[in-house]
């Protein structure tokens, strides 16, 4: 009786853990744009907590969403599949900006119909989704569209407005009220519903709360950058001069304060207008492309280099003097218009100091892919410039507390130049990663940053002199403190050359695997053999950077496990699986975990997104999608996981004996080191019984 109860408990536990996730439902519709042009509209409805990746994902990132439409003489494709704005984040695991969608996403493919007869188009979408704990393997779903015999015969509902003069066409009948569904099998237990004619309003895939947080970050960074610009030689001396002008020229103190406030608001209007122009010129789609477009990143790199060299004193970036003279003439008129042109004169005269900062902010805000980012950035920057003028006009006595202009203003400018120089190489790194040129690998990037911040430290300590620097007889406490902070940061980066993760700056340098020596400089796998290389069985490899012997073929791994009589840990993973990388970077390196993986189990890592074609003669028909052939190695392992373990999410870990029987319940994403270690120890103990 006890055995039966135990068996039932194990069965219930296994069933409760095993789960086939199906977080995306796909629906299709056809929209007439003109007599011969139609939009094939595909809408993805995404469960809360999951996100679907964009079509445009940099190389070595997650699997992008991809649409395939068969060639047919009845129609021709016009352009590429369009998508919505979505959400773009800087992913620290993949070390790149990645765009994805949450809740809903709409895609459109425009076609030109040649045939007068009705016909059917069957396309396919390949996609990948992830949440905070799991990633699913690349999934394929058929998409069906029915093109009608005549151009526009449907009655249009008043609330259906996909775009101007567009009419929804039913895929089965000529009325928009008819809804016909077709079930497309994904696996033995899950189906995806394709709604052929149901129309929903086009919605953005952007999560509003997350978007608000990114805009707030842009505002805060821009605000503090404005204060930095305030402390440059071009702007700081203008504060007492401008405030004194308003207080002396005004009939009373209240009038002076009013004029100073108007002056500050004019500064805000000028810079916000600049941000608005950038947003209008580029548009949302172009701004979103900045983060991964090679040429944009190279141009930004060159632009920031020019800004940095200017700040370091090689030359000054100035607008034509004629502009300033014309603006000064307008400012002499007085009144509101005169005050506005005084603010414009400040922007022009101080451009040699504020221009590089403004340019960098616009680049960073635009690269975030949000169309209002440049506007928010300029709002924060201009507020930081404008507020001091209003405050000192209200309290003129505070002017006496301001430090005197001097060499320290140029020091601020030079420090900003070093920071611009360091940031420039981040954009060059983005281009290198996309092209996979391996010219700016992790070690080279870190060496450049160590050199830049090391030079900045020497500058702050007075060991390096640059043009426009005043003679330095002593070092102030503030300068010494900043120098010590910079030197500390420089020393912190040095171990990164030997494989240290450098978590504080993980979003900036390339990932550890994108390096000359993934195991760290001086490692036996990196080039200079200083330690004994572990014996590698036939068919296995060393997994970087932990030096774990791993198989990528199930049969070879099981055969070796029988030979050495060790339990097997099946690691269902993916090259594009975010949470798999988190486990490998944050859990596996712990001493108690790493010791088990290296010495007590045989690791078999099965990559469900492996796009290598199956060898000739080993092609098999999918059991989950009858009639479809498995094309890739990853599809084989994905089906194996789904059929044997009734689960399709990664990471997914199984401890099994040499016959492939489970030693205990599998686990998924387990960031708790102690919990993961307990799971491993329990499986090992069961193997020894």
The tens digit of pLDDT for each residue in 291-327 reads: 556 777 788 788 888 888 888 887 776 656 665 566 5
C-alpha R_g of the chain: 31
Say if residue 194's pLDDT is above 70. Answer: no
DSSP secondary structure, 509-578, as one string: SPPTTSSS-TT-TT-TTTSS--SPPPP--TTEEEETTTTEEEES-HHHHHHHHHHHT--EEEEEE-TT-H
Per-residue pLDDT, 181: 33
Sheet holding 540-543, edge to edge: 540-543, 548-551, 602-607, 568-573, 652-656
- Domains in the chain (CATH in brackets) are 24-147 (2.60.40.1250), 215-267+318-402 (no CATH), 540-688 (3.40.30.10)
Number of neighbours of residue 658 by Cβ within 10 angstroms: 18
Per-residue pLDDT, 317: 66
Per-residue pLDDT, 531: 42
Say if residue 249's pLDDT is above 50. Answer: yes
List, as own/partner pairs, every contact residues 279-285 make where C-beta atoms lie below 8 angstroms and the sequence separation is at least 24, other chains included.
279/371, 279/372, 279/373, 279/374, 279/375, 282/366, 282/371, 283/371, 284/85, 284/369, 284/370, 284/371, 285/85
Q: Model pTM?
A: 0.48
**Least confident among 515-524, 556-565, 608-617, 651-660:** 515-524
Is the preceding omega at residue 545 within 30 degrees of 0, hence cis?
yes
Say if residue 578's pLDDT is above 80. Answer: no
* Stronger pLDDT, 319 or 169, i.e. the higher one: 319
Number of neighbours of residue 369 by Cβ within 10 angstroms: 26
Cβ atoms of residues 585 and 570 within 8 Å: no
The separation between CA 434 and the C-alpha centre of its own chain, rounded to angstroms, equals 13
Q: What percent of the chain has pLDDT over 90?
A: 21
Say if residue 483's pLDDT is above 60. Answer: yes
Give the residues across from 324 on adjacent strands. Answer: none
Query: Average pLDDT in the 8-24 region?
Result: 57
- Most confident range (mean pLDDT) of 111-120, 242-251, 391-400 is 111-120
Per-residue pLDDT, 205: 36
Model confidence pLDDT, tens digit, residues 120-168: 998 999 898 888 777 888 888 889 998 887 544 333 333 333 333 344 5
Confidence of residue 522 (pLDDT cuts 50, 70, 90): low
* Stronger pLDDT, 149 or 587, i.e. the higher one: 587
Say if residue 479's pLDDT is above 70. Answer: yes
Give the residues across from 169 on adjacent strands. Answer: 30
What is the spatial distance between Cα 277 and Cα 293, in angstroms, rounded to a whole number?
Answer: 21
* Stronger pLDDT, 394 or 122, i.e. the higher one: 122
Number of neighbours of residue 90 by Cβ within 10 angstroms: 15
DSSP secondary structure, 187-255, as one string: SSS-EEEEESS----------HHHHHHHHHHHHHHHHHHHHHHHTSTTTTTHHHHHHHHHHHHSSSHHH
DSSP secondary structure, 170-190, as one string: -SSSSBTT---EEEEE-SSS-
Q: What percent of the chain has pLDDT over 70?
A: 70
Per-residue pLDDT, 183: 34
Model confidence pLDDT, tens digit, residues 611-668: 888 887 777 888 877 778 888 888 889 889 988 988 888 889 999 999 999 999 999 8
Model confidence pLDDT, tens digit, residues 79-125: 889 998 888 877 766 667 788 998 899 999 999 998 888 889 989 99
Cβ atoms of residues 525 and 517 within 8 Å: yes
Per-residue pLDDT, 65: 93
Residue with tokens 């070092």: 475
What is the spatial distance between Cα 595 and Cα 585, in angstroms, rounded to a whole number?
Answer: 15
**Closest CA relative to residue 52, chosen from 187, 208, 206, 199:** 206
Number of neighbours of residue 412 by Cβ within 10 angstroms: 18
Confidence of residue 453 (pLDDT cuts 50, 70, 90): very high
- Most confident range (mean pLDDT) of 235-244, 266-275, 446-455 is 446-455
* Stronger pLDDT, 179 or 25, i.e. the higher one: 25
């Amino acid at each position: 009786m006890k055995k039966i109860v135990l068996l039932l408990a194990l069965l219930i536990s296994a069933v409760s853990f095993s789960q086939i996730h199906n977080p995306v439902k796909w629906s299709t519709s056809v929209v007439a744009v003109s007599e011969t042009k139609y939009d094939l509209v595909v809408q993805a409805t995404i469960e809360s907590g999951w996100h679907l990746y964009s079509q445009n994902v940099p190389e070595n990132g997650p699997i992008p969403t991809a649409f395939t439409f068969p060639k047919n003489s009845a129609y021709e494709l016009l352009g590429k599949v369009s998508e919505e704005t979505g959400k773009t984040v800087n992913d620290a695991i993949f070390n790149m900006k990645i765009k994805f969608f949450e809740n809903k996403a709409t895609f459109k493919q425009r076609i030109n119909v040649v045939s007068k007869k009705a016909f059917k188009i069957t396309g396919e979408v390949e996609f990948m989704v992830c949440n905070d704990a799991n990633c699913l393997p690349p999934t394929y779903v058929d998409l069906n569209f029915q093109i009608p015999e005549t151009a526009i015969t449907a009655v249009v509902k008043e609330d259906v407005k996909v775009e101007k003069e567009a009419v929804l066409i039913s895929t089965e009948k000529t009325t928009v009220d008819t809804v016909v569904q077709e079930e497309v099998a994904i696996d033995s237990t899950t189906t995806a519903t394709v709604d052929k004619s149901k129309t929903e309003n086009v919605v953005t895939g952007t999560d509003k709360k997350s978007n608000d947080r990114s805009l707030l970050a842009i505002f805060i960074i821009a605000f503090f950058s404005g204060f930095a610009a305030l402390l440059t030689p071009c702007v700081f001396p203008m504060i007492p001069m401008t405030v004194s002008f308003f207080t002396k020229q005004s009939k009373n103190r209240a009038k002076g304060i009013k004029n100073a406030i108007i002056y500050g608001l004019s500064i805000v209007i000028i810079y916000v207008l600049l941000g608005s122009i950038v947003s209008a010129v580029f548009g949302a789609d172009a701004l979103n492309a900045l983060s991964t477009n090679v040429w944009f990143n190279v141009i930004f790199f060159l632009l920031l280099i020019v800004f940095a060299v200017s700040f370091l004193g090689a030359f000054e970036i100035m607008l034509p003097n004629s502009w300033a003279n014309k603006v000064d003439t307008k400012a002499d008129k007085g009144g509101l218009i005169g005050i506005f042109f005084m603010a414009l004169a400040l922007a022009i005269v101080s451009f040699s100091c504020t221009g590089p900062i403004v340019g960098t902010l616009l680049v960073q805000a635009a690269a975030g892919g949000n169309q209002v980012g440049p506007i928010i950035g300029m709002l924060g920057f201009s507020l930081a410039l404008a507020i001091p003028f209003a405050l000192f006009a209200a309290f003129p006595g505070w002017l006496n507390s301001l430090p005197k202009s001097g060499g320290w203003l140029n020091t601020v400018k030079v420090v900003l130049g070093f920071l611009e120089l360091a940031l420039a190489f981040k954009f060059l790194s983005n281009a290198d990663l996309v092209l996979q040129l391996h010219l700016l690998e992790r070690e080279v990037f870190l060496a450049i940053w160590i050199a830049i911040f090391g030079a900045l430290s020497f500058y702050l300590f007075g060991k390096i002199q640059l043009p426009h620097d005043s003679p330095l007889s002593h070092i102030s406490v503030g300068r010494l403190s900043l120098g010590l902070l910079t030197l500390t940061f420089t020393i912190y980066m040095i171990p990164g050359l030997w494989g240290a993760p450098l978590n504080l700056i993980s979003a900036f340098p390339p990932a550890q695997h994108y390096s000359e020596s993934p195991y760290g400089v001086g490692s036996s796998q990196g080039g200079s053999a200083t330690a004994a290389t572990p014996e590698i069985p036939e068919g296995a490899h060393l997994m970087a950077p932990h030096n774990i012997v791993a198989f990528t073929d199930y049969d070879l791994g099981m055969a070796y496990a029988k030979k050495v009589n060790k339990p097997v840990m099946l690691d269902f993973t993916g090259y594009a699986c975010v949470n798999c990388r988190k486990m490998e970077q944050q859990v596996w390196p712990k001493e108690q975990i790493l010791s088990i993986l290296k010495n007590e189990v045989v690791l078999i890592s099965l990559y469900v997104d492996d796009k290598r074609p199956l060898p000739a003669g080993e092609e098999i028909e999918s059991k989950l999608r009858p009639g479809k052939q498995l094309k890739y190695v990853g599809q084989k392992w994905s089906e194996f996981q789904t059929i044997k373990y009734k689960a399709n999410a990664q990471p997914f870990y199984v401890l099994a004996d040499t016959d492939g029987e489970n030693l205990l319940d599998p686990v998924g994403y387990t960031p708790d080191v102690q919990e993961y270690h307990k799971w491993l120890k329990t499986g090992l103990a069961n193997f020894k019984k």
